[in-house]
């Protein structure tokens, strides 16, 4: 059983800059320096266009030490897969280069948007990033015709492995709103750029009520067990996101553990409506979780610590 103790809200943008009006969505750790944690997040301007910023805070006091004054990554050129905004998803170190995997946004007409996955690279330890090419590395295909988005990348057993959101289709809800439906798939790569996709579904829908499974966060324990925390909505009783948990022996075939509550909501406050978009990291033999609350990150992100497992 997992018992997560919430340590508090860490950061919430409030008109800090013209490009950082609101939201600190999908937080993930970029680097750790002593007890200071640098977190990348996606923020929005007044036109709801997203870009990527960073904030550094002390793990124990939650004091904000530094905030990026300029976006680390912004939307692409008109017509590109990311011309409506970018949202960071994960980062890995490759021979001294930090490679960030991010989601590109295109606004749509028949449906609200389309996503694809791109990469950006940093050669100065995460201070600045550049896009090595303008196109995506994962996009819709003949077998996945809608879109792909949030992901977790790991270099493991001599190959790159990715768990990513894959849209299975769109539907009209009871109110007539066009709504997406997506789950988590798995793929492999030799270089982390060109992916071999076999349609392996890692986390599928639990029932007819669940329609959105996103932001997978995978770690591999020393005993070889893969563990994943992810967001899902909805259930019969709850219409909003909650954080869920699953385990796997090979990273491909997963067993969900609904008896393990990832992280619940509070009676009131910044995470009363939902908890979503987890990120798991270890420091000083202790496991922590970054996560978003209300409004898919509109109220910023918080921190929780695992008290027992």
Q: Give pLDDT tens digits for 161-217.
A: 999 999 999 999 888 899 999 999 999 999 999 999 999 999 999 999 999 999 999
Q: Is 223 helix (H, G, I), strand (E, B) or coil?
A: coil
**Which one of 1.25.40.10, 1.20.200.10, 2.10.10.100, 2.115.10.20 gives the CATH number of domain 3-308?**
2.115.10.20
**Domain residue extents for the chain:** 3-308
267: CB partners within 8 A, 6+ apart? none
What one-character DSSP code corresponds to residue 278?
Answer: E
Q: 58: part of which helix (H) or strand (E)?
A: strand 50-58
The pLDDT profile of the chain, 309 residues, written as one tens digit per residue, is 788 999 999 999 999 999 999 999 999 999 999 999 999 999 999 999 999 999 999 999 999 999 999 999 999 999 999 999 999 999 999 999 999 999 999 999 999 999 999 999 999 999 999 999 999 999 999 999 999 999 999 999 999 999 999 999 999 988 889 999 999 999 999 999 999 999 999 999 999 999 999 999 999 999 999 999 999 998 999 999 999 999 999 999 999 999 887 688 999 999 999 999 999 999 999 999 999 999 999 999 999 999 976
What region does 206 belong to: left with phi over 0, alpha with psi -120 to 50, or beta?
Answer: alpha
Strand order in the sheet with 50-58: 22-33, 36-44, 50-58, 64-67
Residue 229 and residue 143: Cα distance in Å, rounded? Answer: 26
């Amino acid at each position: 059983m997992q018992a997560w103790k919430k340590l508090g809200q860490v950061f919430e943008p409030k008109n800090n800059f013209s490009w950082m009006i609101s939201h600190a969505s999908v937080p993930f750790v970029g680097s750790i320096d002593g007890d200071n944690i640098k977190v990348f997040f996606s923020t929005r301007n007044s036109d709801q266009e997203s870009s990527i910023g960073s904030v550094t805070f002390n793990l124990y006091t939650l004091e904000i030490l530094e905030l990026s004054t300029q976006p680390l990554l912004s939307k692409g050129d008109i017509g590109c897969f990311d011309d409506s905004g970018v949202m960071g998803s994960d980062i890995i170190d490759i021979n001294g280069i930090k490679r960030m995997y991010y989601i590109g946004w295109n606004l749509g007409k028949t449906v609200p948007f389309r996503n694809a996955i791109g990469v950006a690279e940093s050669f100065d330890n995460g201070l600045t990033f550049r896009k090595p090419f303008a196109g995506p590395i994962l996009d819709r295909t003949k077998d996945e015709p809608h879109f792909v988005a949030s992901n977790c990348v790991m270099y493991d057993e001599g190959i790159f492995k990715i768990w990513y959101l894959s849209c299975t289709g769109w539907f009209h809800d009871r109110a007539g709103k066009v709504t997406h439906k997506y789950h988590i798939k798995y793929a492999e790569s030799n270089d982390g750029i060109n992916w071999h996709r076999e349609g392996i579904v890692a986390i599928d829908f639990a029932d007819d009520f669940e329609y959105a499974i996103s932001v997978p966060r995978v770690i591999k324990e020393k005993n070889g067990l893969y563990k994943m925390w992810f967001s899902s909505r909805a259930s019969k009783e709850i219409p909003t996101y909650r954080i869920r948990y699953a385990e796997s022996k090979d990273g491909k075939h997963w067993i969900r553990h609904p008896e393990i509550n990832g992280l619940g909501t509070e009676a009131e406050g910044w995470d009363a409506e939902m908890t979503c978009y987890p990120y798991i990291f270890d420091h000083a033999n202790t496991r922590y979780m970054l996560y978003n609350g209300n409004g898919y990150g509109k109220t910023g992100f918080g921190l929780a610590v695992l008290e027992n497992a």
